[in-house]
Each structure stands twice: as C-alpha cells, then as structure tokens.
Amino acid sequence: MLNTKHKNRNKIIFVILAILIITFSNFVQKQIREFFYFISSPIQKPLWRAGDRASDFLWSFFNTKNLKQEKERLENENQNLIFKISALQEIKKENETLRQALGIELQENFNLEISQIINKDVSAGFILIDKGLLSGISKDMPIITGQNVLIGKISQVYDNFSEVMLVSNHKSVFDAKISSPDNDVTGIIRGQGSYSYALYDLIPRGTEISTGETIITSGLGGFLPKGLIIGKIKEVRKSDVDPFQQAKVELFFNISSADNIFVIKSLK
C-alpha cells in the first residue's frame, strides 16, 4: 500500500517537473528569440530594404530590356514600311513618266526601257545609267527624254549599268536635218564639249537656214531613228569661199535636271 502511494507521488512530481521544464524552456526560448530579434533588427531593416531595391532593380532591368527589344522591333518595322512606301512612290513616279511618254506616242514608235541617271560627268560628256546587259541594253542604243529629245547613245555596257556618250561630247558625230518638210538637206552634228551647245556642220552653202529653226535626227547613219529632237539654231556661220556653212545649235536636253530617261531598244 505504501509503495503504491509512493509511486503515485513520484509520478505527480515528475509531471509537475516536466510541465515546469517545458514552461521554462518556452520562456527561455522566447527571451532568446526576442534578444536576437532586438540585436538583428538594425541589420534586418537595411537588408530588407536592400532586397527590395535589388528586386526593383532586377524588375526594372528586365523590363527595360524588354522595352528596348520592343523599341528595336518597332523601329525595324517602321524602316521596312518607309522602304516600301519609298519603293511604291518610285514605281508611281516611273508609271507617271511612262504615261507621259505614252501621251507623246513614244511607245507607239519605240520599244523603250525606262532608266535613271546614277552619275554625271557632264564636263567629260558622259553619264551613267542604272540599266545594262541584264536589261537587254546594248552599245549604240539611243537615249532620249520623255519629250523625244536626244541625250546621247550607249557607249559602254556592263551587267547592271551603262555609260552614255552625250550629244555634247566632242567625239559625238551624227547626221541631222532641219525640222521642215520643205528642207531635206542634211548636215552633221558635232559635239563641242559644252553641255549646252553643238555645231551643225557640212550644210551646203546654198541651203537656206535661219536662227530659231529646230534640228532633228535625219535617220541616216543607222543607229539613230529619224525625228529625235536635238536643239535649235542660235547662230548661222557663212563664208563666201567655203562650200559649206555652219550653225551653232543650242541643245534642248538639260542634263542637270534630267531624272528618268528612256533607252530606245528597238523600233516598232
């Protein structure tokens, strides 16, 4: 009986001690936790702020990168649109030039290749155009404006461009006549190295010519069709002893303002 009471008392004491130990342990842990919180709080606040700032920076960095990529994409799209618009405008311009040529019936007489001047060396009497062998261009083909004014002829051909000898070139010589149904006498046009003037030469002395008359190609010589406009007579030069007379001719083409021009590939 005594042993039983003794055992029960020991159990009660053990339980009470266990409760006290757990309570004390929790209290101590709480105090320790509070102490460490107190010690570390001055450090934790800057760390949290630094973490927030780092997070904001990373978000801003990746967001800026995405915005930059989007900006570049939009810029590329914009450049492509500008290129397409420019190409369409150029096509529209060429179509308008062709319509003008149709208006003066050039297309009814010639097979034409529209071209553009890409380089000018007027002092040397040459220009460069953007059509060549790949476009069916060959040497000696005539070059004219949309108003049927003669510019020159192809002197050298490459794959994608051609060299044009201007009427004004000092090596340029071809047959010409006065644009008059009553005057079939022909002479020759000689380039003088000046882009504004040429010499109308070998005109028989008895032929009546006057200033202001228009000079056109005669169709003789093979490479130039008849009726291409050259210029007008500015001055007549006669001599009692020479069998021929001459005239100074003001050329109609203005190479400084020329843009789209035509290559006569063949006659229709």
Please report, rounded to a whole number, the percentage of residues in the chain having pLDDT higher than 90.
40
Residue 160 has pLDDT above 50, yes or no: yes
Residue 265 included in any domain: yes
Residues 120, 58: one domain? no
Rg over alpha carbons for the chain, rounded to the nearest Å, is: 48
Residue 8 included in any domain: yes
CATH number at residue 180: 2.40.10.350
Six-digit token string for 51: 């973490």
Number of compact structural domains in the chain? 2
Six-digit token string for 56: 């904001």
Residue 251 included in any domain: yes
Residues 155, 22: one domain? no
Residue 91 included in any domain: no
pLDDT tens digits, 176-187: 999 888 787 899
Residues 253, 135: one domain? yes
Spatial contact of 104 and 260, defined as CB atoms under 8 Å apart: no
Residue 168 has pLDDT above 90, yes or no: yes
Per DSSP, the three-state class of 214 is strand
Phi, psi dihedral angles at 33 (to 5 degrees): -60, -45
pLDDT tens digits, 208-238: 899 999 999 999 877 899 999 999 999 999 8
Q: Which domain holds residue 138?
A: 111-268
| Chain mean pLDDT for the chain | 78
Residues 264, 178: one domain? yes
Residue 222 included in any domain: yes
Residues 42, 135: one domain? no
Q: Give the domain-ending residue among 54, 75, 96.
A: 75
Taking the whole predicted model, whether its pTM rises above 0.75 is answered as no
